C-alpha cells in the first residue's frame, strides 16, 4: 500500500487567481474500527 495510518489526503481545485472553487476535502487514514 502507498498510504499508511496517519497519512493525510487533501484535494482542492484552484482557479487562475488561486481561489478555491469548492473548498478543500481533507481526510486522514485511520484503522477501521467496525460497526
Report yes or no: 15 and 2 within 8 Å, Cβ to Cβ.
Answer: no
φ/ψ of residue 10, rounded to 5: -130, 130
User: The whole model's pTM is what?
Assistant: 0.60
- pLDDT of 27 reads 98
Spell out a b/e string for 13-27, using b for 16 or more CB atoms within 10 Å of the CB, else e: eeeeeeeeeeeeeee
- pLDDT of 25 reads 98
Tens digits of residue pLDDT in 1-35: 799 999 999 999 999 999 999 999 999 999 999 99
Amino acid at each position: 500500500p502507498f498510504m499508511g495510518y496517519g497519512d493525510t489526503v487533501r484535494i482542492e481545485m484552484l482557479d487562475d487567481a488561486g481561489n478555491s472553487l469548492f473548498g478543500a476535502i481533507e481526510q486522514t487514514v485511520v484503522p477501521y474500527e467496525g460497526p
